[in-house]
Every structure is written in structure tokens, then in C-alpha cells.
Amino acid sequence: MTPLRERLIDDLRIRNYSHRTVEAYVAGVARLAKFCRRSPDQLGPDDVRDLQLDLLRRGVSWSTFNQTVCALRFFFRVTLGRPEVLPFIPFGKKPKSLPCVLSPEEVLQFLGAVPTHRDRVLLQTAYACGLRIEELMHLRVADIDSRRMVVSVRQGKGDKDRLVPLSPRLLEVLRAYWQAERPAAWLFPGQRPGQPLTATNLQRLCQRLVAQLGWTKHVTPHTLRHSFATHMLEAGVDLLTLQRILGHRHLQTTALYLHVGTGRFQRLPGLLERLMLPTPAEGSL
């Protein structure tokens, strides 16, 4: 490991960035060095601009593009102490798109297609608690509090702990799962001893289920979290309560689900019905 990379990692660790963020930022700075074939501390705004244009030409996602920007802005501002470069490293305007949401019937169909008991419980927990992938993977047996009927989410996004409600039905499912599998520490242990299941396993499981069902929707493990949030709002849960359950820092993030819920639409009047248009004759379109 080069001294420069080690300094970058130390700068991130001092500020208590998560392990995944450290990896992503190091990869972003390495991307610049590999593209320019020089040490990144010898590069400037023009080199960063060339990298950004190359990323656009290669059609990377806006998430990857902006994650690279975050890494480079941190690197120049903190590690190199060159904040004057930051105005020349702009973020890309990410297109606003609505998340994919499953209907309650589709969730039931999706869970019913899971071939194994352990995987079905895994996805049921993801949906019933509205958890992020990493939060789900790192659940411990001790995090299930049946007396208070809550699930403790330890060090979620932003390194924050929070509580999410535990439904009686999910508790029943988890008790049957524990009696069958007897997990010791991790609620969903992986193949490696002492390690939890990896996110890759869950993502591949969802891909197989979508293919098996013949769906065209882009369903990922995070789709279950989107569906949970939308169904909660449609059931009448207020926005502030949902914000706390989901662990969102900003209420605006939670408010996104107001745009994908269909309950409000179903209560709107049908304008064509109010016009009392004549019914098409039989056999005509």
C-alpha cells in the first residue's frame, strides 16, 4: 500500500466513514490514477474533467459517476489540502425516477416462489421490517426483542441505531425458523463460519426469482424496502413515523413514497365515468 493511499484511508477512518464508503472512495481515487497513469497527487482539475468525460462516454450510472466525484472531492479537499480544486469537480444531475414498487399481491407471489425456508424467511424479514440489504445481512439473533416487539437495527446507514416494529406474524415466522436452523450469532449466517450472509447471495436470489416468475420489472432486494414504505403510507402510517422506521435523515427522502402510492389515485373521481359516455356497441372497439 502506497503512503498516499494509506493517508487517504486514515483520513476517512478518522472521520468514522463506513467500511464500504472507505472502499468506494479508495476505488474512486484509484480510478483517476489508472485513467491518467500518474499518481493522483500530481493531477489537477483538467485531469478530473477528462476522467468525468470518459465516464460519460462509457455510460456508467449516475450513482457511480457521483460516487467518484465524492471520492475525488474528499481526496483533494482533505488528503491533499487543495480545496480550491473543488469548484472544478462538479456533480452530475441525477435523473429523478420513481422506485420500483410491488403490489401486496405481487409481494405474496414473490415470496411464494422462494424455494427454501431460510431464503423465504430472509425476504419476509426484509419486507416486514423495511430493511436495507446490509442491515438485513447483519441482523443478530439478539436483535429480535419479542418482549418489546421491536427489531434493533445496529449501525444502519450513517452509523445510526434504530428500532423497527416487529409484527406478531413475523415473530411467529422467525421462531419457527430459529427452531429449524438454530442460528447462533448471526440471524442469517453465511457459508463462511462466523460470517453473515453476503449481499451478493441475496441479489442473485432475487434475480432467479424474477426470471422464474417471468416478470419484466427490475426487482432487487431494495424493492422490498420500497414496497414496505409505500404500503405503510397506503395503510395510513404518517410520514414522520415512517421516516423514523426507515432511518431516513431527511423527511424529503421519505416523501418520495407519496409519489408512488396509488391509494390516493383510487379515491379520485373517474372523469370519463362522470361524462356518462355511451357504452361501445358489442363487437366494436
64 CB contacts (<8 Å, ≥6 apart)? 55
Residue 137 has pLDDT above 70, yes or no: yes
Q: Same structural domain for residues 82 and 119?
A: no
pLDDT for 284: 54
Is residue 70 assigned to a domain?
Answer: yes
Which pTM value belongs to this model? Answer: 0.75
Q: Same structural domain for residues 25 and 147?
A: no
The percent of residues in the chain predicted with pLDDT above 90, rounded, is 73
Q: Same structural domain for residues 81 and 143?
A: no
What's the pLDDT tens digit per position in 166-184? 999 999 999 999 999 999 8
CATH of the domain at 180: 1.10.443.10
Residue 117: active-site member: no
What's the pLDDT tens digit per position in 187-225? 999 888 788 888 888 999 999 999 999 999 999 999 999
Count Cα atoms within 13 angstroms, Cβ side, for 236: 0
Residue 160 has pLDDT above 90, yes or no: no
Q: Same structural domain for residues 66 and 151?
A: no
Instruction: Report the residue count for the chain.
Output: 285
Q: Same structural domain for residues 57 and 135?
A: no
The residue with greater pLDDT, 81 or 268, is 81
Residue 158 — left, alpha, or beta (φ > 0 → left; ψ -120 to 50 → alpha)? left
Domain residues for 81?
3-88
Q: Which of 157, 192, 249, 267 is catalytic?
A: 157
Residue 94: active-site member: no
CATH of the domain at 33: 1.10.150.130
User: How many angstroms separate the CA atoms of 23 and 9, rounded?
Assistant: 9
Residue 132: active-site member: yes
How many domains would you assign to the chain? Answer: 2
Q: Which of 5, 82, 118, 222 is catalytic?
A: 222
User: How many angstroms separate the CA atoms of 72 and 27, rounded?
Assistant: 10
Q: How many CB atoms lie within 10 A of CB 142?
A: 10
What's the pLDDT tens digit per position in 22-76? 999 999 999 999 999 999 999 999 999 999 999 999 999 999 999 999 999 999 9
Q: Same structural domain for residues 187 and 229?
A: yes
In this structure, the dihedral spanned by the alpha carbons of residues 161, 226, 249 and 185, taken in order and rounded to 10 degrees, is: 10
Q: Same structural domain for residues 78 and 168?
A: no
Q: Which of 162, 225, 226, 231 is catalytic?
A: 225
List residues bridging with 153 in a β-sheet: 162
| Average pLDDT of the segment spanning 135-146 | 94
Residue 225: active-site member: yes
Give the chain's mean pLDDT: 90
Please report, for the chain, how many H helices and E strands are present, in that order.
14, 3
- Angle at alpha carbon of residue 178, lines to 176 and 183, rounded to 5°: 165
Structural contact between residues 128 and 165, judged by C-beta atoms closer than 8 angstroms: no
Q: Same structural domain for residues 130 and 60?
A: no
Residue 285 has pLDDT above 60, yes or no: no
Q: Which of 31, 73, 132, 226 is catalytic?
A: 132
